[in-house]
Amino acid sequence: MADKDFVHPYIPNSEPAVKRAMLDYLGMKSSEDIYKEIPDALRFKGEMDLPEPILSEARLQRHVEGLLDKNRHAKNTLSFLGGGTWNHYVPAVCDTIGARDEFLTAYVGETYSDHGKWQALFETASMIGDLTGFEAAGNPTYDWANAIAIACRMACRTAGKTEILLPKNMSPTRMLVVKNYVKPEIAVKEVGFDEKTGRMDLSDLAAKLSDKTAAVYFENPNYIGAIETEARDIIKAAKGAGALVIAGVDPSSLGVLEAPGAMGADYAVGDYQPLGLHMGYGGSLSG
């Protein structure tokens, strides 16, 4: 940790004169004084196994790009990877607008958002309402799983019951999130699916519906890619048992598939990711 005269191109405070001024202000002779409270026996005395720094920005860029080129990503081929994020084409305008200071935020929009964000949220909610067939749409949540969980708790409060039915052909990670949100007050039953068609097993649904069921959740298209062609039958069965219906949808599919509101669902949930958010280590997402 000895002082060096090396000036890092991206750390202005590494310049010797600046470093000296900072140490003088702190009343220290060298940067070693910062660590004097650490017992000598605990301090690392050797040299770290690190390569020499690349001082040229151009060389550094070539080096990093060379490392990245060793990887294959979803754009290298026609990718049908899913599991919660999809490699949809994202128009350049999405990145341009999303990066503007009046929209960019490190957190979800809340009451402390500025008026520009509220205008954007109003227009977004209006669009989602048109797509899903509902008169009202809420502010974005963290992701699809979070939206399901909130809808489940809302349905239980509305119905005054404490049981929900989830399909086994939904994302297992979403199911874990929902179970974590609703326990221990709300019981979860899992409804099976037909392994040949990938669609919900209506007979199993009928067997598990009861007067205790607050809500039934289903996805269309579902997690394994099947379209629930009997979605109206799912809704009819749930309503017949006095349960509410939560439909999970990919918003980009609603130009082709029937809107959940038009089918009679009580709630619709999903994710904004297909509408202009890039894939990246499981994100970015917005429910």
Strand pairing partners for 220? 249
In this model, does residue 241 exceed pLDDT 90?
yes
Q: What is the pLDDT of residue 107?
A: 59
Rounded distance between C-alpha atoms, residue 93 and residue 285, angstroms: 18
Q: Do the Cβ atoms of 200 and 227 come closer than 8 Å?
A: no
Residue 119 vs residue 226, higher pLDDT: 226
Q: What is the pLDDT of residue 102?
A: 65
pLDDT digits 0-9 by tens, 40-79: 889 888 888 888 888 788 898 999 999 988 988 777 877 7
Rounded distance between C-alpha atoms, residue 150 and residue 146, angstroms: 6
Q: Is 212 helix (H, G, I), strand (E, B) or coil?
A: coil
Q: What is the pLDDT of residue 110?
A: 56
Q: Is 245 helix (H, G, I), strand (E, B) or coil?
A: strand
In this model, does residue 1 exceed pLDDT 50?
no
Which range (34-38, 117-121, 223-227) has the least confidence?
117-121
- What are 158's two structure tokens? 């509305």
Q: Supply the mean pLDDT for the chain.
A: 85
DSSP assignment of 21-72 equals: HHHHHHT-SSGGGGGTTS-GGGS--S----PPP---HHHHHHHHHHHHTTS-
Q: Output the CA torsion 38→44→48→54 (10° steps).
A: 30
Rounded distance between C-alpha atoms, residue 105 and residue 98, angstroms: 9
pTM of the model: 0.75
In this model, does residue 211 exceed pLDDT 60?
yes
Q: What is the pLDDT of residue 149?
A: 93
In this model, does residue 184 exceed pLDDT 90?
no
Query: How far is CA 53 from its chain centroid?
Result: 36
Q: What is the pLDDT of residue 238?
A: 92
What is the residue extent of each domain of the chain?
A: 12-67, 92-275
pLDDT digits 0-9 by tens, 139-171: 888 888 999 999 999 999 999 999 999 999 999
Task: Give the count of alpha carbons within 13 A of 271, CB side only.
Answer: 26
Q: Which CATH number is associated with domain 92-275?
A: 3.40.640.10
Which residues lie below 8 Å from residue 51, measured CB to CB, with a gap of 6+? none
Q: Do the Cβ atoms of 245 and 209 come closer than 8 Å?
A: no
Q: What is the pLDDT of residue 106?
A: 57
